[in-house]
Structure 1
Amino acid sequence: METTTHKIEFISQGFLLKGVLHLPQAGQPPLVVGSHGLEGSKESAKQKVLSTLLVKNNIAFFRFDHRGCGKSQGDFITDTSLEKRTADFINAVQHVLDLGKTSRDLAIFGSSLGGSTCINAWNTLLQMDVRLCGAVLCSAPAKSRTVEKIPTGANNGRPALPLSFFKKNLLFNITKKAVSLSNVLIFHGDADEVVPVSNAHDIYTLAKEPKRLIIHENGDHQMTSKKDQAEFEKEAAAWFLHCFSQ
């Protein structure tokens, strides 16, 4: 199948953000927009998988770097919060839709903090000129206080993070916002060492039907099991296709 790839730039609250739009050959396809995790980027594994998987199913996919991440403008330490990520996500959706290369049938994807971003953005997206068809969430925290492994140590991309960074920017409880979700597929590992699986159960309990919860036995936060990855690919593609067919 022939596909086209477009490098996209857009502005979110004064920051120049960069992304990639993957389009199938079919005209005016439905659109999925993805949000990566806290220290991820548009090059994160699940984002790359979806960029191929969805296009094969005649679905467009847009992946981008949030501010302070990847090739987008911003400083990770000063420009990261759930609200800022949510603004980036909404602006990404609006910009891609305004390009006119897709239909206005929209579904969303988020991994880890990206899943929280999707939940937080849901009600705003419902008020936009789109048909919000559904979501796929992976290892998403609804309550940040439940997070068990906070990445404070320095790495190649940034200096060490003080606990005050998380208390100031990433302290949230969006559990109640899950009541607005529908057509949501949730993946979570029951051995997630970062975000306890209780978050997935809380989100699933509150979300509206249709909904589905897939718990990976002994699954970790990064979904490193090849078996779990294969199930993710199969079930996520089927879920998005079902969402858009309704």
Structure 2
Amino acid sequence: MRETSGSLERPDGETLAWRREEGAGPTVVWLGGYRSDMNGAKAQALAAWAVESGRDYLRFDHLGHGESSGDFVAKGAITRWREDALAVIDDLTEGPLVLVGSSMGGWLACLAAMARPQRLAGLVLIAPAPDFTEKLIAPALPDEARAALLTDGVWLRPSAYGSPDPITRLLLEDGARWSILDGPVPIEVPVRVLQGGADEDVPWRHALGLAQAVKAEDVVFSLIKDGDHRLSRPADIERLIAAVSEL
């Protein structure tokens, strides 16, 4: 086993940073959440698991996240992050894949699975947030946020995890293009969903709606009653590794 790393250049000159633990397939690909990066607890835990088990594992930072380049406010949108995820899959992997998506990464994992169905062996989704721009953020915007979006194109939403989250008009308008919960989701590979019952960012019923919408029959929805949005406690990490190992 050895770790390799690099950057994938995109047509507009932006670069996506990536790291890989080389091993046996299927290749596990990590798709992080909104404003998270590939050095988070869950992504790092999967890297350690890959080394111990001899599995192929690839993680990367979305544009405007972590070690990747790009203006988060000016370019950050589901269309762009979806295109970048597909570029990573197409350019850096071969053969079957298990996509592991956390929060927004769960939405991107579903979009990637729908675009590359022939490559997918399974999906593991942690607090998946499909359609979060339209169904979770937009309805809850306070008046001052709507005013800021109209005048400035961006609203800085207070965050429990650190600095405020920039919510942009681009993100909200673009996200509506990629809604998947309004009809059957054409994913037919095995799916495992881990969801916290105490998640204040993605209500468990929202994640359950995705589990019910996918066409696959082999779907397991695990509700961790006292779990928060991050699901990064040791027991949560064990559940994640077990789900990935199963697929």
The interval holding the TM-score normalised by the smaller chain is: 0.7 to 0.9
Name the counterpart of 1:235.
Answer: 243
In the superposition, the TM-score normalised over structure 1's length comes to 0.81
Distance in 1 (alpha carbons) for counterparts of 2:49 and 2:210:
26
Aligned ranges 1:174-189 → 2 under 5 Å: 174-175=180-181, 176=183, 178-189=185-196
Size of the aligned set, in residue pairs, is 226
1:89 pairs with 72, 85, 90, which one? Answer: 85
User: Does residue 173 in structure 1 map to residue 179 in structure 2?
Assistant: yes
Identical positions, percent: 21
Q: Say if 1:115 and 1:13 are closer, same or farther in 2 by CA, change over 3 A.
A: farther
Match of 2:9 in 1: 11
1:200 maps onto 2:207 in alignment: yes
Say whether the 8 Å CA contact 1:188–1:197 is kept in structure 2: yes
Equivalent position of 1:138 in the other structure: 126
- Map 1:5-154 → 2, pairs under 5 A: 5-14=3-12, 15-24=14-23, 29-97=25-93, 104-126=95-117, 130=119, 132-144=120-132, 145-147=134-136, 152-153=157-158
The offset of 1:110, in angstroms, is 0.6
Seen in structure 2, the aligned counterparts of structure 1 residues 221 and 230 have a Cα distance that, compared at 3 Å, is same
TM-score by length of 2: 0.81
Counterparts of 1:38 and 1:160, CA distance in 2 = 9
Per-residue CA deviation, residues 154-213 of structure 1 (Å, 9 max, x unaligned), is 899977635635423444522236332421111111111001111221111122121211
- Partners of 2:102 and 2:167 in 1: CA distance: 23
Structure 1 alignment gaps of length 5 or more: 98-102, 241-246
Structure 2 unmatched runs, 5+: 142-155
AA aligned to 2:7 is E
Provide Cα deviations, 1:101-151, integer angstroms capped at 9, x if missing partner: xx5121111100001001111121125xx3x10110001112324436887
Contact persistence 2:103–2:129 (CA under 8 A) = yes
The more displaced of 219-228 and 37-46 is: 219-228
- Aligned to 2:238, what secondary structure does the other structure show? helix
Whether the 8 Å contact between 1:18 and 1:71 is mirrored in structure 2 is: yes
Q: Which moved more, 1:178-187 or 1:210-219?
A: 178-187
CA RMSD of aligned residues (A): 2.6
SS at match of 1:94: helix
Letter in 2 for 1:21: R
Tell me, yes or no, if the aligned pair for 1:122 and 1:181 is still in contact at 8 Å.
Answer: no
